[in-house]
C-alpha cells in the first residue's frame, strides 16, 4: 500500500530542492547573451534528447527482461517498463535514491514472478547497475584517457574516487558471494558501528537485521547469476546502453544551443555525478545533481549556456520522469495492474531454459 499523505511531502521537498538548485545555477551562470541563446534554441534537439531518454528507458526494460530470463521467466516488455517507471518515480523522491526497490518487487510479483525471484531480480539489478556505471567510468577515464575536468587536482580526485568505489563494489560482491565466510566479519563491523550511535541492545537488534539483509542479498545475487550467467552479462550490456543513451541527452541539449562539446568527455563527466547521487541524502539527490552537472560542464560549454542546459536536462530526466512515473503509480495502485496481469498471465518458464 502506497500512502498519498506520505508521498506528497517527499514530492514537494524534492521539487523545491530541484527548483532552488536549478535557479541557483541559472543565477550564477546567466549572462546577457543567455537570453539570445535561449531564444535561438533549436527545439529539434530537445526532441532528440527526449528520444534518447525514451530509448534509455527501453534499454533498461531489456535489462530487466534479461534478468528474468536468467531465472527462467519471460517478463513482458510492458511489465518491465511499468516496473522500472515505478522505481524511477520512488527513487526520485526518496533519500539516497533507494525507494523504488520494494515497489518494483511488488510489480513483478503482481505480474506472476514469485516474491523471492522478483526480489532477486531487483537486488541483482542494483549491483549490476552500480558495477556497470563504475566500469563505464573506468573505461572512459582510464581506457580512453578522457579527462573529467581541466583542473588536474579535480581530475585526479575523480580518478581515485572511481578506483576506490569500483574496488569497494567488487569487494562487497565477493563478500556477498561468500556470505557464509563473511557473515562474522560483516556482523562485527555492523555491530561495532551501530554501538557508536545507540544503545547496545538496539545495536544488537539492528546488527541482526543487517545480518538478515546480507543473507538475503547474497541469496538474490546467487539466484540472478545462477547457471545462466550469460543473461547477467546481457543485463550488464543493456545497462551500459542505458547509461550511454541517458548521458547523451546533455550533448544533445548543448547542440540545440549551437555548442559542440566533446561528446565522450561530457558523457564521462556524468559518471561521477550519478555515482554521487547514490550518497546524497536529499530526495532523489535533488540539489546535488544540478550543482554537480553545472560544475562538470564548466570546462566543456560556455558559461552562459550552462544554466539553460541544466534546466532542460532536469526537465527531461527528472520532471518528465516524475510525471510519467507518477501516472504509472496511480494507475498501478488503483488496480489497473490487474489488467496487465490477466493479459500476460503468470510468467511462464520458457522451453529453452527449462532444461
Give the model confidence (pLDDT) of 58-81 as tens digits: 999 999 998 888 777 889 999 999
DSSP per-residue codes, 290-311: HHHHHHHHTTTS-HHHHHHHHH
Give the model confidence (pLDDT) of 278-326 as tens digits: 777 787 778 888 988 998 888 889 999 999 999 999 999 999 999 999 9
The values of phi and psi at residue 283, to 5°, are -60, 125
121, 108 in Cβ contact below 8 A?
yes
Q: What is the largest CA-CA distance in the chain?
A: 67
308, 316 in Cβ contact below 8 A?
no
**Helix (H) or strand (E) segment spanning residue 93:** none
pTM for this model (two decimals): 0.79
Q: For the chain, 355 residues long, give each residue's pLDDT as a single digit of tens.
A: 555 567 788 888 889 999 999 999 999 999 989 999 999 999 999 999 999 999 999 999 999 998 888 777 889 999 999 999 999 998 888 876 666 777 888 888 888 888 777 877 887 777 777 777 888 888 887 877 777 666 777 778 778 878 888 888 777 777 766 766 666 666 666 666 666 656 666 666 666 766 666 666 666 666 666 555 677 788 888 988 999 999 999 999 999 999 999 898 888 888 888 877 777 778 777 888 898 899 888 888 999 999 999 999 999 999 999 999 999 998 888 874 454 444 444 444 333 333 2
Amino acid at each position: 500500500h502506497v500512502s498519498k499523505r506520505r508521498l506528497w511531502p517527499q514530492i514537494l521537498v524534492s521539487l523545491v530542492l530541484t527548483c532552488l538548485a536549478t535557479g541557483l545555477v541559472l543565477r550564477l551562470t546567466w549572462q546577457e547573451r543567455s537570453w539570445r541563446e535561449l531564444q535561438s534554441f533549436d527545439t529539434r534537439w530537445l526532441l532528440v534528447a527526449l528520444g534518447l531518454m525514451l530509448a534509455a528507458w527501453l534499454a533498461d526494460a531489456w535489462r530487466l527482461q534479461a534478468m528474468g530470463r536468467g531465472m527462467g521467466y519471460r517478463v513482458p516488455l510492458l511489465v518491465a517498463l511499468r516496473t522500472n517507471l515505478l522505481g524511477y518515480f520512488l527513487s526520485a523522491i526518496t533519500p539516497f535514491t533507494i525507494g523504488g526497490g520494494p515497489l518494483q518487487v511488488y510489480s513483478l510479483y503482481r505480474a506472476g514472478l514469485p516474491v523471492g525471484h522478483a526480489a532477486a531480480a531487483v537486488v541483482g539489478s542494483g549491483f549490476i547497475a552500480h558495477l556497470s556505471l563504475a566500469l563505464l567510468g573506468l573505461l572512459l577515464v582510464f581506457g580512453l584517457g578522457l579527462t573529467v575536468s581541466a583542473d588536474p587536482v579535480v581530475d585526479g580526485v575523480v580518478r581515485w574516487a572511481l578506483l576506490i568505489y569500483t574496488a569497494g563494489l567488487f569487494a562487497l560482491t565477493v563478500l556477498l558471494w561468500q556470505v557464509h565466510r563473511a557473515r562474522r566479519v560483516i556482523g562485527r563491523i555492523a555491530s561495532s558501528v551501530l554501538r557508536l550511535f545507540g544503545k547496545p541492545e538496539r545495536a544488537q537488534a539492528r546488527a541482526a537485521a543487517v545480518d538478515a539483509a546480507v543473507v538475503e542479498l547474497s541469496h538474490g545475487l546467487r539466484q540472478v547469476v545462477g547457471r545462466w550467467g550469460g543473461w547477467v552479462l546481457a543485463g550488464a550490456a543493456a545497462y551500459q546502453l542505458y547509461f550511454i543513451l541517458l548521458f547523451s541527452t546533455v550533448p544533445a541539449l548543448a547542440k540545440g544551443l549551437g555548442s559542440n562539446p566533446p561528446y565522450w568527455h561530457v558523457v564521462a563527466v556524468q559518471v561521477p555525478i550519478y555515482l554521487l547521487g547514490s550518497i546524497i541524502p536529499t530526495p532523489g539527490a535533488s540539489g546535488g545533481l544540478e550543482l554537480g552537472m553545472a560544475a562538470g560542464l564548466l570546462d566543456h560549454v560556455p558559461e552562459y549556456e550552462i544554466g539553460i542546459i541544466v534546466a532542460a536536462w532536469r526537465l527531461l530526466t527528472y520532471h518528465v520522469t516524475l510525471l510519467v512515473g507518477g501516472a504509472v503509480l496511480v494507475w498501478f495502485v488503483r488496480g489497473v495492474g490487474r489488467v496487465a496481469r490477466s493479459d500476460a498471465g503468470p510468467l511462464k518458464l520458457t522451453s529453452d531454459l527449462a532444461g
